[in-house]
Amino acid sequence: MKAQFWSFDVIFAMIIFGSALIILTFVWVNVSSQYNLVYSFGLQTMQAQLQSLQGRIIGTGYPSDWNSVANITNTGTWNNISIGLGNGNGMLSQSKIMTLMAMTNYGPSEYQATKPLLGVGYDWYISINYSNVSLTMGLYPYTRNPYAVQVARQSDVLNGVPVKMQIILWTNKSFGVS
């Protein structure tokens, strides 16, 4: 009976099964490492854009009175501007914040047009909070099933009042492995 169990058929089947298992393991490790590499590179790009946006947002933008140049309902007037929310005195400008809020809330195509003005390729969301007031602009990521989210927090001053600003870059798309 023992001789029949360890026949060439069983040994051959075990070799095929073991080989398939080894090949599957090799493929799994290879794909997993490629995915991790692409995901890591995508996150690094997102972090770099977030740091750039964080510095840009407290600046005055270009031109420094971009909020009076940009017509909220006409994206054609948005050419050659760069958005910054600062007023040049180390504080945030309420009129620039309100203009950006109006630009992003006017419609989906206007929101998309603000990305290059902010220097980002990802979706964005900014909230400014003080006392019982919360000013928000952009698309809130957590209701849109985000794939990756990067958050920066900073303190600023608006109308002489300290405020907390939260800047979020996010995407609900894969970084490249599909």
Separation between Cα atoms, residue 97 and residue 92, nearest integer Å: 8
Split at pLDDT 50, 70, 90, the class of 34 is low
Stretch 68-88: mean pLDDT: 85
Split at pLDDT 50, 70, 90, the class of 175 is low
Q: Where are the domains of the chain?
A: 11-171
Asked whether residue 151 carries a pLDDT value surpassing 90, the answer given is yes
Segment 109-144, tens digit of pLDDT? 788 888 889 988 889 999 999 888 899 999 999 888
As a whole number of Å, the end-to-end CA separation of the chain is 51
Return the residue matching tokens 């894969």: 174
Instruction: Kindly report the pTM of this predicted structure.
Output: 0.72
Question: By C-alpha distance, which of 170, 169, 156 is closest to 97?
Answer: 156
For residue 38 the two structure tokens come to 């692409």
Angle ∠(142,124,92) on CA atoms, nearest 5: 120
